[in-house]
DNA sequence: CGCGGGTTTGATGATGCTCAAGCCCGGTGG
DNA sequence: CCACCGGGCTTGAGCATCATCAAACCCGCG
């Protein structure tokens, strides 16, 4: 149940088994069915979520009723709206499951206690934030300068597993293009090779 | 010299005069001439900078040699590369001045000491981070879904002062379009009204 | 079998880029 | 004081990319 989380911690910091055991108590395992929400626009996001299995996404709905996917999260990833989580203000994002998933909930209060109990984790979350910063800024630059084809190629290079698992239309939404365009891009790419 | 910084702190947290006096000692005022760099790609960003007067920008140079502006900073704003600053790794950004400017340097070591000396500032920097998170995500969504005209209109609404001060080509770079396109967009907008 | 979703394909049009030329204006040197 | 730059902005023509609208297709499932 907590093996993935354990490995994920160890990738960035070193915890003794005793320390990790202390951490575990703060997490709440949950099952999330396909299409089920774990956060809805307008409500406060008072948890961050580690994905054990399955796949979730966060997205906004614009004034034309169209969805824009912000992030995917498969096993071994975190997902949340940090803005709402940290500020306590209502979120502008939705998060739901694209597959039946198993996740570990970490409530805000629990996280605070955990950080007190195992201060080393401060470093872990800081490193996580930094990684997030890099990904986010890369995404801005790409969105502003790269073509749809370039963005797709970068996507399949960066997230090869997601390409297999997620519906094409969802990837199109993430890339900021229509499903039709993505279909054509894939066609051209396959013809080239 | 430190009035702007003082007001900026007070917007988010409350500091006594004594606390603020302690803070001030950690900052190093500097003059930065137009076109002068305060950070160059490849070097580590070991400072964050508060702008007292003038205007700076951060940007990347892509493989075609083209600049992509990430952020502007006029008086009362911070500018830096947080990724490099926090991780100690080389930056991928450049930061230089678009006007002769007066800034306050805060070195990494100085910031750590300042946070020890005035713990209230932890909250200040957290709030700054959150504001940054919101702006950044808004920018991604816009870049992926809005037209050039919409992005420009949003820009002049959000940063009216910048429109006056910054060369049009720089704004085009920030918006991810060519100077020619921006020129045409402005023409159409003026014809409409 | 038929329905529903996601994907593909086609035709057409809008948006924004490229290349190229001209313009405006402030600065410099004769 | 004027001529000449040079940088930034504008304008034009043609083109590439991507969206839109619409129809067909594919396939898993009740």
Instruction: Say what the pLDDT of residue B23 is.
Output: 96
- Indicate the length of chain B as a whole number: 193
Beta bridge partner(s), residue B47: B107
pLDDT score, position B193:
74
**A134: nearest CB among B83, B137, B145:** B83
A91: closest chain B residue by CA: B134
State the pLDDT at residue B150.
Answer: 97
- Phi/psi region, residue B136 (left: phi>0; alpha: psi -120 to 50; beta: rest), is alpha
**Alpha carbon of B104 to those of A190, B31, B87: distances in Å?**
54, 9, 21
**Predicted pLDDT at B63:** 86
Predicted confidence at residue A25, as pLDDT, reads 97
Q: How far is the CA of B5 from the C1' of C25 (A)?
A: 37
From the candidate CATH numbers 2.60.120.260, 2.60.120.10, 3.40.390.10, 3.90.1150.10, the one assigned to the domain spanning B3-118: 2.60.120.10
pLDDT value of residue A112: 95
Q: Domain boundaries in chain B?
A: 3-118
Read off the pLDDT of residues A130-167 as tens digits, 9 standing for 90 and up. 899 999 999 999 999 999 999 999 999 999 999 999 99
Q: Are A91 and A81 in contact (CB under 8 A)?
A: yes
Q: Which residues of chain B have pLDDT under 50?
A: none
Of A83, A144, A176, the CB nearest to B133: A83
A3-145 is a CATH 2.60.120.10 domain: yes
Q: Chains A and B: how many Cβ contacts under 8 Å?
A: 63
Whole-number average pLDDT of chain A: 95
pTM confidence score: 0.94
Q: How far is A70 from chain B (nearest CA, A)?
A: 8
The residue-averaged pLDDT of A105-122 equals: 95
pLDDT at A1 over 90: no
Query: Residue A137, class by beta-carbon neighbours within 10 Å (0-12 exposed, 13-18 middle, 19+ buried)?
Result: buried
């Amino acid at each position: 149940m907590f093996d993935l989380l354990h490995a994920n911690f160890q990738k960035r910091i070193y915890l003794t088994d005793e320390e990790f055991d202390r951490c575990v108590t703060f997490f709440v395992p949950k099952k999330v069915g396909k299409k089920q929400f774990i956060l809805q626009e307008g409500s406060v996001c008072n948890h961050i979520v580690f994905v054990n299995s399955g796949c979730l996404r966060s997205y906004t709905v614009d004034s034309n009723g169209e969805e824009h996917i912000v992030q995917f999260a498969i096993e071994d990833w975190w997902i949340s709206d940090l803005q709402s989580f940290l500020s306590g203000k209502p979120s502008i994002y939705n998060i739901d499951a694209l597959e039946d998933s198993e996740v570990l909930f970490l409530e805000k209060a629990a996280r605070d206690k955990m950080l007190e109990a195992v201060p080393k984790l401060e470093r872990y979350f800081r490193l996580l934030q930094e990684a997030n910063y890099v990904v986010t800024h890369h995404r801005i630059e790409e969105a502003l300068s790269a073509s749809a084809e370039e963005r797709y190629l970068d996507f399949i290079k960066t997230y090869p597993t997601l390409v297999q698992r997620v519906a094409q239309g969802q990837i199109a939404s993430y890339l900021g293009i229509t499903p039709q365009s993505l279909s054509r891009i894939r066609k051209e790419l396959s013809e080239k090779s």
